[in-house]
Amino acid sequence: MHYRLRGQNFRDQRLFGTSRGMVNYKYDKGAKLKKDFHIHTKYCNHAVGEMSEYVESAISSGLEEMGFLEHYEVGINYYRKNWLSYEELTIYYEEGLKLREQYGSKIKIHLGIELGIHLSQIEALQKGLQKHPWDHVGLSFHYLPFEPYHINVCSGSTHNLQPMTDYGIQQAVQVYFDTLQAGIQAIDADFLCHFDVLWRNYPDIEVTPEIEKRINQILELVSKKKMALEINTSGFLHRGEQYPATWILAKAHQLGIPFVVGSDSHAPDQIARYFDKVEPLIEFVMSQK
Ligand SMILES: [Zn+2]
Ligand SMILES: [Zn+2]
């Protein structure tokens, strides 16, 4: 079992070529999926259940590895705090270490963060990254700035849908991709989460040649930064298909980008959800040339 050493930052590890391989995302052809790398906890304020209950659930689901991936956001003006504060990162991390000790013979537990891109807060976000030797970092874009507040683009609640209409969907698409691109460039992370989540509430956004080009550019950047792409199974519940869409996965595979599978669990019984759909999906995508 390899974990990042305390005090080492990702950039150093990249230099020595030892980063990312710390958590092995490799999917073996024909193998059953036994790793779920996107699991939240009660500490983000919108998930339920003790961390130990997630571990128990992962063990009874037959997983060999699980990755907690808690929300970290800075400078977001939203009606509720849906993420961990800088101080709470330590509470979460230390509880995770205890569980790792307690359950170590049954399951490998990884502790990571889902970092919300906010371009004016890169320095503060890096501080959270460096606070603990996280096993993995997922990059996401959740909050669209709409003065004086932020809109959660991943949420299906009316709190967000009306302001989004006022903001303008086409404009949101532009800002979403611009921000992702700049964020991936600025922050060293392990994988990109729920890449096309904007289509959750707006399935009719047309994938124009321009949008396709943007998606391809971002995938090329993901590949250049040696990141993986997440297959997020919460999409099956939200829109009948994983995030991101299959054609994006096929494109990523052509570029040699590895996949990470995550359930985005916000309750213990969501661990490994829809994994039975992902196994044939990965086989299919990998068979595409
Ligand atoms: Zn997310
Ligand atoms: Zn998440």
15 domain residue, yes or no: no
**How close is the Cα of 107 to the center of ligand 1, in Å?**
24
**How close is the Cα of 47 to the center of ligand 2, in Å?**
10
**How close is the Cα of 38 to the center of ligand 2, in Å?**
6
pLDDT value for 286: 86
pLDDT value for 126: 94
194 domain residue, yes or no: yes
In terms of Cβ atoms closer than 10 Å to its own Cβ (0-12, 13-18, 19+), residue 112 is buried
11 domain residue, yes or no: no
8 domain residue, yes or no: no
3-state secondary structure (DSSP) of residue 32 = coil
**How close is the Cα of 262 to the center of ligand 1, in Å?**
11
How do the pLDDT tens digits run along the chain, 289 residues long?
Answer: 333 333 333 333 333 222 344 566 667 666 789 999 999 999 999 999 999 999 999 999 999 999 999 999 999 999 889 999 999 999 999 999 999 999 999 999 999 999 999 999 999 999 999 999 999 999 999 999 999 999 999 988 888 899 999 999 999 999 999 999 999 999 999 999 999 999 999 999 999 999 999 999 999 999 999 999 999 999 999 999 999 999 999 999 999 999 999 999 999 999 999 999 999 999 899 888 7
**How close is the Cα of 218 to the center of ligand 1, in Å?**
18
**How close is the Cα of 143 to the center of ligand 2, in Å?**
13
pLDDT value for 20: 42
Could you tell me the residue range of the domain that residue 205 belongs to?
A: 32-287
**How close is the Cα of 32 to the center of ligand 1, in Å?**
25
pLDDT value for 11: 35
> What is the reported pTM?
0.91
**How close is the Cα of 194 to the center of ligand 1, in Å?**
7
Crossing angle of the two packed helices 51-60 and 86-103, in degrees rounded to 10 = 40
20 domain residue, yes or no: no
**How close is the Cα of 239 to the center of ligand 1, in Å?**
15
1 domain residue, yes or no: no
What distances in angstroms separate CA 94 from CA 65, 70, 98, one per listed residue?
Answer: 18, 13, 6
What distances in angstroms separate CA 215 from CA 46, 93, 244, one per listed residue?
Answer: 30, 34, 11
pLDDT value for 240: 95
CA–CA gap between residue 70 and residue 242 (Å, rounded): 20
How is 99-138 classified by DSSP, letter by letter? HHHHHTTT-EEEEEEEEEP-GGGHHHHHHHHHHTT-SEEE
23 domain residue, yes or no: no
Which amino acid makes up residue 179? T
**How close is the Cα of 138 to the center of ligand 1, in Å?**
9
Here the CATH number for the domain that contains residue 196 is 3.20.20.140
**How close is the Cα of 102 to the center of ligand 2, in Å?**
25
pLDDT value for 259: 92
Task: Dump pLDDT digits (tens) for 159-199.
Answer: 889 999 999 999 999 999 999 999 999 999 999 999 999 99
pLDDT value for 1: 33
Count of structural domains, the chain? 1
Nearest to 32 by CA among 288, 289, 278: 278
Q: Which-ligand-closest: CA of 200?
A: 1
26 domain residue, yes or no: no
